[in-house]
Chain A
Amino acid sequence: MTALRISVAIALWIAFAAHGQDTSFRAVDVYVNSGAQPLAAYQLTFLSTGANVKIVGIEGGEHSAFAEAPYYDPKAMQREQVTIAAFNTAAANQLPTGRTRVATIHVQADVKSQRTYKVEVSAAAAAGGKAISVQANVEERMTR
């Protein structure tokens, strides 16, 4: 996990150095709310529009069940769209319920331009593999 964070930090630093002061870096937290159901698996597509937004890094979430970076296509780096997914086979009592941050997506964007983010859940399951319906949303925070 430490190595991942260092890699993300280095990637952010390199990207910042390459683009100068007109570019800002943001962390977009991705939340999934599974209600009373223990969340065992999710897959969603993150899409950003406007402001020349580029994805520069992806890391895991807050709950231990999803602390590792999710699966994603490395080709999504430097693009504005990515599908992320993760699962955990632990018992239900070791999985998060309610609203939980499952991942953080780091993006690079033009400072002055407007940007919007969108997430679309394509799959989710509770412990035991039963497909469930969940809600997802994102929250942006500035990192630099």
Chain B
Amino acid sequence: MNGDDETIPAAIEQRLHHIAGATGVFVPPAVDDAVLSRSQQRFAEIRRRRAKTQRVWWISAAAAVIVLGLLASSLITVTRYERADIDRSGRVDILDAFALARRIQQGDTAGFDFNNDGVVDRADVDTVAAQAVRLRKGRA
């Protein structure tokens, strides 16, 4: 008998029956059944309690993970910029197009292919400027 296995091995059961027979103690079958039944009920109750305890632990662990995740996300503030927000002002405006035009003049073109045509040139500046002046939804 070990862990969750509450059945009595056949060999031990035979040995016990043998000892009981040898001692000459007579146990009525009804009493034997009653003892067995009570034992089974007791083991079933133990299993239920153990399962309940495990559920509580899992729920507690999951809740702790969620709370820690929320706490971490509130502490770590990551500012997300639009790709065309070159000057990182929080919005795309003509100053971004202006900044891009100046960078292109200076030969700094890495990562600014906004129209995805393979080259960084005035067309990319126009793309950013067009985004800057685009009518927003809800405007007249």
Contact = CB atoms under 8 A, between A and B. Distances in A.
Nearest to A43: B94
A12 interface: no
Given A125-B95, A129-B95, A85 B102 contact: no
A13 interface: no
Interface string B87-98: 100000111011
Interface stretch (A16-24, A25-33, A72-80, A106-114): A72-80
Given A41-B98, A123-B93, A129-B102, A71 B129 contact: yes
B133 A89 contact: no
B93 A129 contact: no
A137 interface: no
A40 interface: yes
Contacts of A125: 95, 98
Nearest to A41: B98
* Dominant SS among interface residues on chain B: helix
Given A80-B140, A89-B105, A72 B94 contact: no
Contact of A41 (B95, B126, B133, B139): B95
A104 interface: no
Contact of A89 (B101, B126, B130): B101
A86 B98 CA distance: 8
Contacts of A85: 93-94, 97, 129, 132-133
B135 A75 contact: yes
Interface string B103-139: 0010000000000000000000010011011110001
B97 A87 contact: yes
A135 B58 CA distance: 63
B130 A71 contact: yes
Contact of A71 (B95, B99, B101, B132): B132
Contacts of B133: 43, 71-73, 82-85
A42 B94 contact: yes
A68 B130 CA distance: 15
Contacts of A40: 98
A89 B98 contact: yes
Given A71-B132, A73-B134, A123 B140 contact: no
Given A71-B94, A73-B133, 19 more contacts: A40-B98, A43-B133, A71-B97, A71-B132, A75-B135, A79-B140, A81-B135, A81-B139, A83-B132, A85-B97, A86-B94, A87-B98, A89-B101, A89-B102, A89-B105, A123-B93, A129-B87, A129-B99, A131-B95
Interface of B: 87, 93-95, 97-99, 101-102, 105, 126, 129-130, 132-135, 139-140
12 contacts: A43-B95, A43-B133, A72-B133, A73-B130, A81-B140, A82-B135, A84-B133, A85-B129, A85-B133, A122-B93, A123-B94, A129-B95
